[in-house]
Structure 1
Amino acid sequence: MKRCNPLFSRARTLFVVFMLSCFAVNHVKAADREIGGYVDQAEDRFVRNVWNFIKNFQGWQSVGGNRWQEVQYFWAEPFEFNTNHQDFVDRMDLAYVAAHGSAYSVQTKQTPNTGVDLRSCPPYGDLSTGGDLEFMIIESCSTVASAPEAPAGGDWWTPWNPIFQGLHQLAGFRTLSYSDNGIPNRFANKLKANGGIWQSWFSAVDGERTFYSNGTYSEFPGYASAIIYTSTENDRLGSYAGDPAGGTAGMKTWWQF
Structure 2
Amino acid sequence: MDKKHLVARRKKLFFCLLLLLFTSSPLRTASAVDHWEGGYVGSKTEGDATTPVWNFINNFSYDQYYWAEPFQFTSSNNERVDKMDFSYFVGHGSPWQIKCQSTWVDLTTAGSTTHKGWGDYNAEFVTLHACNVVASPLEVADWYSAWTGGTGVFDGVHQVCGFRTTASMSCDQDISAYFGSRIKSGAAVWQAWFDAISLYGDGSERGAAVMYPPCEGDSYATFSADPPATHTWLKIWYQY
With the shorter chain as reference, the TM-score category is 0.7 to 0.9
Q: Which amino acid aligns with 1:230?
A: P
Cα distance in 2, alignment partners of residues 33 and 114 from structure 1: 29
Q: Which residue of 1 aligns with 2:160?
A: 170
Q: What is the SS of the residue equivalent to 2:200?
A: coil
Q: Give secondary structure in 1 for the equivalent of 2:104.
A: strand
Partner of 1:215: none
Aligned partner letter, 1:35: E
> Please, what is the CA RMSD of the aligned residues?
2.2
Report the TM-score when normalising by structure 2: 0.80
Unpaired stretches in structure 1, ≥5 consecutive residues: 8-28, 59-69, 211-219
Give 2:75's match in structure 1, choosing from 74, 83, 86: 83
What is the CA deviation profile of residues 113-168 of structure 1, one whole-angstrom value per residue up to 9, with x for unaligned ones?
312011111133443xxx21110001110011122121xxx221100102111110
2: CA distance, partners of 1:176 / 1:75:
22
Offset at residue 248 of structure 1 (A): 5.1
Q: Secondary structure at the match of 1:207?
A: helix
Partner of residue 52, structure 1 = 55
CA-to-aligned-CA distance 1:27-63 (integer Å, 9 cap, x gap): xx896010000001233520011001011113xxxxx
The answer to whether the Cα contact below 8 Å between 1:196 and 1:235 also exists between their aligned partners in 2 is yes
> For residue 226 of structure 1, what is the aligned residue in structure 2?
209
- Secondary structure in structure 2 of the residue aligned to 1:222: coil
- The alignment partner of 2:194 has SS state of helix
Aligned AA (2:107): L
Name the counterpart of 1:143: 133
Which structure is larger by alpha-carbon Rg, 1 or 2? Answer: 1
**Please, which runs of 5 or more residues in structure 2 have no aligned partner?**
1-8, 11-16, 22-30
RCO comparison, higher one (Cα < 8 Å, 6+): 2
Q: Residue deviations 1:211-236, cap 9 Å, x none?
A: xxxxxxxxx22100000122000010
- Displacement of 1:252 in angstroms is 0.4
Preserved CA contact (<8 Å) 1:147 1:155: yes
How far apart in 2 are the matches of 1:84 and 1:137? 18
* Percent identity (aligned): 34
Q: How many correspondences in the alignment?
A: 207
Instruction: Please list, as runs of the form range in 1=range in 2, the aligned pairs for 1:1-257 lying within 5 A after superposition.
Output: 1-2=9-10, 32-41=34-43, 42-58=45-61, 70-109=62-101, 113-122=102-111, 123-127=116-120, 131-150=121-140, 154-161=141-148, 162-179=152-169, 180-210=172-202, 220-247=203-230, 249-257=232-240
Rounded Cα–Cα distance in structure 2 between residues aligned with 1:163 and 1:201: 20
